[in-house]
Structure 1
């Protein structure tokens, strides 16, 4: 029996993003935003990604894959028309914004303080997906 008060957090929601260039996405997400790559499984064509998992240091994660030969029958035309969007909680968005820009992010909404107590920004990655970062951790429900 665990006698500490620590609880293991199990991630029950995984945003999943599909990219045309999965390796460029992984580089941006790890070097630009600070994710940690947990695993990577190669796809069926050279350079494609069947599945990868990235951990967000404060908790949670995302899954990333890329379009490969096995997925050719799927219609991924929506990727260009409808960017995907993910919100990340971070204690120091000012510092993270500079890191994201250095990795090639395009600023969509610069740093600002919100009425609900968050400070954050939104950037666009190389394929148009939106990454919003802020200090807001959600409402606490007891």
Structure 2
């Protein structure tokens, strides 16, 4: 089944991050990587919940780190892979912004073209055009 942006199902898996400085992480993800801030519920400098959508589909949720809560994850320990149709253009945008690129853009032996960047919290982000294997 071929899908278009109009027929793609709404995302049903939402990776969730916590951050020591959630407002700064949101700024980085929006201004440097290109996510779209769809929602952010704050209390001063604390972010109770934010939703950032990826323009090409999917998104993440994040909030301020609360070590005493049962849904607590150590900031800076996540690794994300994000699909983009134009990894070269995104790489140039990220490089121009001065982001911490730890793997330069390159063709991979398995057919992807990708690069990797570290966000200010230490999370790792890989961007490429590989969309995964088709479902059987």
Same fold (TM over 0.5): yes
| Equivalent pair of 2:18/2:74 in contact (CA under 8 Å) | no
**Normalised TM-score (structure 2):** 0.85
Q: Which runs of 5+ in 1 are unaligned?
A: 1-5
Cα distance per residue 1:17-63 (max 9 Å; x no partner): 101111111111111111111101014xx211000001111110000
SS of residue matched to 1:31: helix
Aligned partner of 1:106 in structure 2 is 100
In structure 2, the CA distance between the partners of 1:101 and 1:66, relative to structure 1 (3 Å rule), is: farther
Matches within 5 A, 1:1-142: 7-43=7-43, 46-67=44-65, 71-74=66-69, 78-79=74-75, 83-142=77-136
Q: Which runs of 5+ in 2 are unaligned?
A: 1-5
SS of residue matched to 1:79: coil
* C-alpha distance in 1 between matches for 2:78 and 2:105: 20
Please, which moves more after superposition, 30-39 or 101-110?
A: 101-110
**Normalised TM-score (structure 1):** 0.82
